[in-house]
Amino acid sequence: MNAVAPVAQGAVAASRDAAVVVHGLTRRFGDGPAVLDRLDLAIAPGEFVALLGHSGSGKSTLLRTLAGLDPVTEGSVARPREVSVVFQESRLLPWKRVWQNTVLGQDGADRRDRAVAVLEEVGLGHRIDAWPLTLSGGEAQRAALARALVREPAFLMLDEPFAALDALTRLKMQQLVSDLWTRHRCSVLLVTHDVDEALLLADRAVVLERGRIRTDVPIPMDRPRRHADPRFEHLRSVLLESLGVHDG
Ligand SMILES: Nc1ncnc2c1ncn2[C@@H]1O[C@H](COP(=O)(O)OP(=O)(O)OP(=O)(O)O)[C@@H](O)[C@H]1O
């Protein structure tokens, strides 16, 4: 997704330097309860935020609203023009080759060169001409990341991008995202159910509960992150407790 106009302007004064500002965002479906309830959230340029929360807490609704896929009916959202989204499933068009999927909707004689460069960056240089249906799950998500990055987004949203992958592939993909973020330094919002994933990757973890922020904690650990870091255990307990899960 590229060049989607900002959903609305309306940055709160205190967040003037933020890349993304959500202010008083409320969202209902029909007569139901508020799925997002007067939500305020700011993401700094280059900041990596993990969004956690139980199923139904409003994570995907927030992400879809930020992406411009869901309307803002109450409150405001400001974000950069250049945004990309990666979903749990790769959403590649099966009748287009991997490189063509990567630069779908892009113009220019150098399309293929740009596709090759970004596919090599995500470790998919050997599958440039492959058909999507011949890719493994991990490879398909690499292609989805390539398609997101080729647009040089200032804001990258990742909606449980690795949830369908096996544990080993997920670890490799987490490493890849960490490397890509270090190089590109865009703002990132990662929706995940995995507390460890949040702690491995993010600068900050936000826990959503019934459409409101229950916990918002910085993750002040050096990278690469180590499970053995005592702060890792502490932060894991904080987040699990916020989620109402009791750690072993
Ligand atoms: N288009 C829709 N119409 C009606 N209700 C919706 C719609 N989209 C979401 N909801 C409801 O809004 C609530 C929040 O959904 P959302 O998908 O944002 O939660 P989530 O935190 O992303 O959950 P999960 O972790 O399971 O993906 C849920 O109760 C869901 O049923």
DSSP secondary structure string for all residues of 138-164: HHHHHHHHHHHHTT--SEEEEESTTTT
pTM given for the model: 0.92
Average the pLDDT over 38-55 and give the result: 97
Closest CA to 3 of 70, 81, 68: 81
Average the pLDDT over 61-65 and give the result: 97
Q: Is 31 in the pocket of ligand 1 (CB under 6 A)?
A: no
What's the gap in Å between 195 CA and the centre of ligand 1? 20
What's the gap in Å between 115 CA and the centre of ligand 1? 34
What's the gap in Å between 61 CA and the centre of ligand 1? 6
Q: Report pLDDT for 243.
A: 96
Q: Is 61 in the pocket of ligand 1 (CB under 6 A)?
A: yes
Q: Is 211 in the pocket of ligand 1 (CB under 6 A)?
A: no
Average the pLDDT over 20-40 and give the result: 96
Instruction: Write down the ipTM of this complex.
Output: 0.97
**Residue 70 Cα: closest atom of ligand 1:** 1
Residues whose CB is less than 8 angstroms from the CB of residue 124 and which lie 6 or more positions away in sequence, other chains included = 98, 139, 142, 143, 146
Taken in order of first residue, the domains within the chain and their CATH numbers are 13-242 (3.40.50.300)
